Amino acid sequence: MGTAQSPFNALPIHHAAQTSLHTARLLLIEDDAETAEDIVSDFGARGYAVVHVANGLEGLSQARANDYTLVIVDRMLPGLDGLSILETLRREHFQFPVLVLSALGDVDNRVRGLKAGGDDYLTKPFAFAELAARVEALLRRPGVTRETTLRAGPLEMDLIDRKVCRGERSIDLLPREFKLLEFLVRRPGQVMTRAMLLEDVWNYRFLSETNLVDVHIGKLRRKIDAPGETPMIHTIRGTGFMLCVPA
C-alpha cells in the first residue's frame, strides 16, 4: 500500500484516495489575488488540479462550460456575487459540491450560504489545512447507505443496537462517544479538523481555545486503541484527527 507524503504537511494520502484526488478538477472563483495564489499552490501541492478565475461572470460560464468535481467560490466577487452564482448553478441542476468562502462581515453567514445551495462554508481567515480537509471531505462524502453496521478494519459498529466491538473485544461507549466514532468511521483516511467535528458532532459553530475535541478524542482513543493494538485514531499535527484502517 503506497502512502505519499505531501511536502507541506504530514498528511498521509492513501493510494485509493490519491486516485480520486488526482482526477478531481477544482474550480476556484476568488478575486483576491494573494488568497487565490496561495490556494492554487497549496492544492496543487496536494495533487489537485485547480482552475482559478477572478471574476464572477467568468466563473459562472467556466462552471457551466467545463466539468468540475467541486467549486470553491467567494461571496464577494466583481461581476456577479458568489451566492448568485451558486443559486444559478443549482437552478441549472449542477450537482457538484460547492464550498463558499466569506469574509467576516457577513451577517447571516453560514445559513444563507447553505440555503443558496452550498455544501460547506468557511470564513476568512482560515487555515489552508482547514480548507483542504473540508474540500477532501466534500469530495469523498460518504454516500447515503441503509447499512445497519459500519465496518472499518477490526472495528464494527451496530447502528441499531448502538454497540461497538473491535475484533473480539466489545467496547462500551457513551452516546456522544458513539456519535463521534461513527463520524470518523464513515470517513476513513480523511482528516477531520476540530472545527468540522465540533460542527457535525456537537452542532457547535465556534472554535474555542480550549482543546475540547482533543479531550473527547483522547477518551475515545483510550477505549478504541487498547494497549498492544494498532492505533486507529491518529492525530494529524496542525490539522486534526483521522481514523485509519490498519493495514
Partner 1 sequence: MFRTSTFRLTVIFSATFALSTLLLFAFIYWQTTVVETERVNAALVRDADAIANAPPLEILRSVTIRLAADFHRVTYASLFTVNGHPLAGNLDRLPEGVPLDGRAHRTNIVMPESGGSNREVVMVVARRLANGQLLVLGRSIDSLDNLRAVVMRALEEGGTPMVLLSLLAGAILSRRAQRQIKSVHLAAERIMRGNLQERLPVRGNADDFGRLTNSVNHLLDEIERLVEEAKNTTDNIAHDLRTPLTRVRSRLERARETAQTRAELEEMVDRAIVSLDQTLRIITALLRISQLEDGRRRAAFSMVDLKTIVQEIGDLYEPFAEENDVRFSIEAQDITAVLGDPDLLSEAIANIVDNAIKFTPAGGWVRLSVEQNGRIPAITVTDSGPGIPSEEREAVMRRLYRSDKSRHIDGCGLGLSLVDAIIKLHDFRLVIKDGDAGIGCVFQLTCGRSQ
List interacting residues with partner 1 (CB under 8 A). Answer: 104-105, 107-108, 111, 125, 127, 176, 198, 202-212, 215-216, 218-219, 237-238
Q: Which three cell numbers stand for residue 171?
A: 467496547
- Is residue 67 within a helix (H) or strand (E), and if so which, with residue range? none
Nearer to partner 1, 162 or 205 (CB): 205
Q: Which three cell numbers stand for residue 32?
A: 483576491
Pick from 194, 191, 223, 222: which is nearest to 209 by CA? 194
DSSP string of 33-46, one letter each residue:
HHHHHHHHHHHHHH
Q: Which three cell numbers stand for residue 89?
A: 448553478
Q: How far is the CB of 188 from partner 1 (least distance, A)?
A: 24
Nearer to partner 1, 65 or 111 (CB): 111
Q: How far is the CB of 91 from partner 1 (least distance, A)?
A: 24
Q: How far apart are CA 16 and CA 72, in angstroms?
A: 23
- Is residue 93 within a helix (H) or strand (E), and if so which, with residue range? none
Q: How far is the CB of 76 from partner 1 (least distance, A)?
A: 16
Q: How far is the CB of 16 from partner 1 (least distance, A)?
A: 28
Q: How far is the CB of 147 from partner 1 (least distance, A)?
A: 26
Nearer to partner 1, 145 or 210 (CB): 210
Q: What is the DSSP letter of 82?
A: H
Nearer to partner 1, 10 or 16 (CB): 10
Quick count: other Cβ atoms within 10 Å of Cβ 38?
14
Nearer to partner 1, 25 or 221 (CB): 221
